[in-house]
Structure 1
């Protein structure tokens, strides 16, 4: 497995086009793997996420079985002129790919980490008798947090709790967890098999918090296979960082 980091040049017109369309960005990410066929049923899972850390710091993260080639993204949404110096300075090519498996193998029960996850928190409801069950997004921070808390055990981690004197938060949670950066993603989609365009709506939110590893095997699966729905549109990728 590999973890890739690509900094987006927000001043480029191509960046604005990609960032405004999860479908276009998904296609660009999948095009980074020349031997993969995006429409194939046996295509390995590729996860990606956009982090808006600051106005001028927008980072694309990719977790994939193979190393990507992001040359086309550098041309569209990076710094192509700087990339010409990649022979002298490999960092100038515009992205960094790291071997992810050694890190995953070191995860141990009881270790604690900071985490970030962008996800599509949904549930299935029937509004009245006789209606079909529909997938519906959780729209309040309290329910979005509960969505993640309900999945922590089977996903291999436990979200840490705050000290008793720090539990008075806006949403009344005792857990060391915040939800922010809600985006209502709306776009039209067509496929090779069905040229008819249909409207797609995805609610995405970002979770930041601290966790303890309870099941390293399950957590490795979460980190490489994703959590929740809408993985093709930038949801499901969780990353860990040392607590500091």
Structure 2
């Protein structure tokens, strides 16, 4: 059974500031909440910080977790209300059907593999030469590149992004020409670039992410289920790859 958790974070506590600033530290806190991890278990998480005073940690786990340690260290342990919620993911999976539409959110790390990068750090060049690598993994840094990366890959994830819904223009205001493809129901709501180090090494890790939000239409329920449970793109240990779905408002269905 799979579970989706929602954990409230108090950004004013010292431990919280460490978790919010360092994806590696938050990864460790997430893993500490899942007992009896089996080899091959995929644990996905995402930090939603739309409201800077009320960041929320979302975690998808293959076993029922316990987030008491995060509440005690980085939440409001003595406050009223629900500190974290854990829900069975099966009802959502059961709703997946071809043609059905959902709202979605995804934080991902858009990258490209290339054998001729425009810029390459001395460390990357040395490592590639030592290991005889013929390609590099380079992050997409512009919003246009990141959006293209996302839209080009949606078919392999089992969905498409419909064209944006617009009102019919008034007579005489129709555009005379149409430049480029029609707009689609997706936007980038956040972009970030963070650098941190792993334990036992001084080599920095740079993580470039983009958060996508919009509306999707299911084309292959099995592929979408795989994307939901297995994650999308690289850097899953650092808060990338968790695709979440939400029912659309009645007027957008």
Shared fold (TM-score, shorter chain, > 0.5): yes
Instruction: State how 1:168-179 maps to structure 2 within 5 Å.
Output: 174-179=183-188
Selected match of 2:159 from 127, 138, 157: 157
Cα distance in 2 for partners of 1:8, 1:173 equals 39
1:34 CA displacement? 2.6
1:188 CA displacement? 0.5
Unaligned residue ranges in structure 1 (runs of 5+): 84-90
Cα distance in 2 for partners of 1:106, 1:236 equals 21
Does 1:138 pair with 2:121? no
Instruction: State how 1:51-200 maps to structure 2 within 5 Å.
Output: 51-82=48-79, 92=82, 94-127=83-116, 132-163=134-165, 174-190=183-199, 195-200=200-205
Aligned residues between the structures: 225
Q: Note the alpha carbon deviations across 1:129-181, whole angstroms, 9 max, x for none.
A: 99942110111111111111111111010111114669x9xx98611111131
Summarize the Cα distance change of 1:183–1:174 in structure 2 as closer, same or farther, 3 Å threshold: same
From the CA coordinates, give the structure whose radius of gyration is larger.
Answer: 2
Cα distance in 2 for partners of 1:173, 1:46 equals 36
- Partner SS for 2:155: coil
- Partner SS for 2:157: coil
1:43 CA displacement? 4.0
1:196 CA displacement? 3.3
Equivalent residues of 2:99, 2:217 under 8 A apart: yes
Cα distance in 1 for partners of 2:203, 2:167 equals 49
TM-score (norm 1): 0.86
- Partner SS for 1:107: coil
1:36 CA displacement? 2.4
- Partner SS for 1:151: helix
Cα distance in 1 for partners of 2:28, 2:182 equals 38
Cα distance in 2 for partners of 1:128, 1:204 equals 19
TM-score (norm 2): 0.83
Cα distance in 1 for partners of 2:239, 2:153 equals 19
Equivalent residues of 2:113, 2:136 under 8 A apart: yes
Corresponding residue number in structure 1 for 2:7: 6
Q: Note the alpha carbon deviations across 1:6-31, whole angstroms, 9 max, x for none.
A: 11111111110101110000000000
